[in-house]
Amino acid sequence: MKNNHKIGIVGLGYVGLPLAVEFGKKYKTAAYDINRDRVSELLNGLDSTGEITKRNLQSSIKLSLSSDINSLKDCNIYIISVPTPINNKNEPDLSILFSATKNIGQLIKKDDIVIYESTVYPGCTEEDCVPLLEKESGMKYNKDFFCGYSPERINPGDKKRTVTKIVKVTSGSNYRIAKIVDDLYSSIITSGTFLASSIKVAEAAKIIENCQRDINIAFVNELSILFDKMDLDTQEVLDAAGTKWNFLPFRPGLVGGHCIGVDPYYLTYKAKQLGYDSKIILSGRKLNDNYVKYINENINNHFVKITNKKKLNALLMGVTFKENCPDIRNSKVFLLHELMIKKFNIDVYDPYASKDEVMSKHNVNLVDFNCLKSSSYDCLVICVAHSEFLNININSLIRNKDSLVYDFKGIYNNNKFMRL
């Protein structure tokens, strides 16, 4: 198989597409997505996620795209990169992953390798996915077919740390397969790879990356609540503490998206299966999930003290789950909008998010920049640190000296009207 890789990619989202493009520059690569509209836009050179340019797509000369799963039947290495969300009980929802696994199980042949990129709890690949592959294929794991795991580390919106420039953790179901998987990724990853001793180690490494970040954000979110009661500027305190070389530069904020607000629940779910109830991880999750309510209460308390007006005007700046990308998955800004609309007339502005997607999924209307009302907002909340916001004169948008600029991302640190 060394010089005969035929790669099949399942899923063309933020993870699968960049991989498909890079592999397609070197190997015959067939990429599949169940969403026909997604495939159609890519065939026309458009990536609505903003991660891949038309020029980069065109440079992947060995890549083919399809919404037909049978387009992958001639491949010998399959890479599954589909979403692994949670359900309304904050438990893993593996239905998409299992569906993709069953489909690939019907296609794999003897000696084929199935590599998983989707974030899962430790043990999921071999304990949950492999039995499905065996059932659908009629073959035996590590005898007739093999598996690998190389967790995605995509950072949406980051134009510097793209897929080839992020160290890749790799693993395989035995040493020979692990070496094939590692060599495969090494051929496109310029930052190098880390070959883990087992699939389970690689799964665990990925899940704790986001758990660690979630806990660190929860810590500074709690600090912001505490410092507010002390009448201290959280940003100033963090800046001062940050002068020490080993102080971590985390900032308060809403925690959403497809990773940080989701992955901790995968690890705590597995922990509970093993009879261990998480202490720190779930505490951090609870605090971050409730932080949006604190923001809403803080805003309401501010205006109770200074006005009797029944309905005020507010502007929410940003709805995506992070800066400089169009991804609105699991964004907590929509919950803030839902809480605030009871007392405010709200305009929402985001230069990255899709108007149609925001309206269809959340029934929220995004306004254009030229529709923002001059000198009319009683409350302005910077929810996302989009770089474009730095070019906006927020003084021209707020009504008066009693207006509240709630900048918990700290991008307007020197504005005299800011309240934290």
What is the C-alpha to C-alpha distance for residues 320 and 49, in angstroms, rounded to an integer?
Answer: 12
Continuous segment of H or E residues that includes residue 222: helix 199-229
Q: What is the CATH number of domain 231-256+292-419?
A: 3.40.50.720
Q: Which residues pair with 314 in a beta bridge?
A: 346, 379
Domain parsing of the chain, residue ranges:
6-200, 231-256+292-419
Same CATH topology for 6-200 and 231-256+292-419? Answer: yes
Superfamily of domain 6-200: NAD(P)-binding Rossmann-like Domain (3.40.50.720)
Alpha helices by DSSP H, listed for 94-198, are 95-105, 124, 130-137, 175-186
**pTM of the full predicted structure?**
0.90
What is the C-alpha to C-alpha distance for residues 152 and 63, in angstroms, rounded to an integer?
Answer: 20
Catalytic residue among 75, 124, 211, 259: 259
Alpha helices by DSSP H, listed for 120-198, are 124, 130-137, 175-186
What is the C-alpha to C-alpha distance for residues 84 and 259, in angstroms, rounded to an integer?
Answer: 9
Euclidean distance between the first and final Cα of the chain, in Å? 59
Place of tokens 């699991």: 330
- Mind listing the pLDDT tens digit for each residue in 27-69? 999 999 999 999 999 999 999 888 899 999 999 999 999 999 9
**Burial per residue of 5-35, b for 16 or more beta-carbon CB atoms within 10 angstroms, e otherwise:** bbbbbbbbbbbbbbbbbbbbeebbbbbbbbe
Catalytic (active site) residue 383: no
DSSP 279-318: SHHHHHHHHHHHHHHHHHHHHHHHHHHH---SSEEEEEE-
- What six digits make up the tokens of 304? 């109770």
**Mean pLDDT, 10 residues at a time, over the chain (420 residues)?**
82 95 97 96 92 92 96 97 94 97 98 97 98 98 98 85 94 97 97 97 96 95 94 91 95 87 94 94 94 92 73 92 90 94 92 94 92 85 91 87 82 51
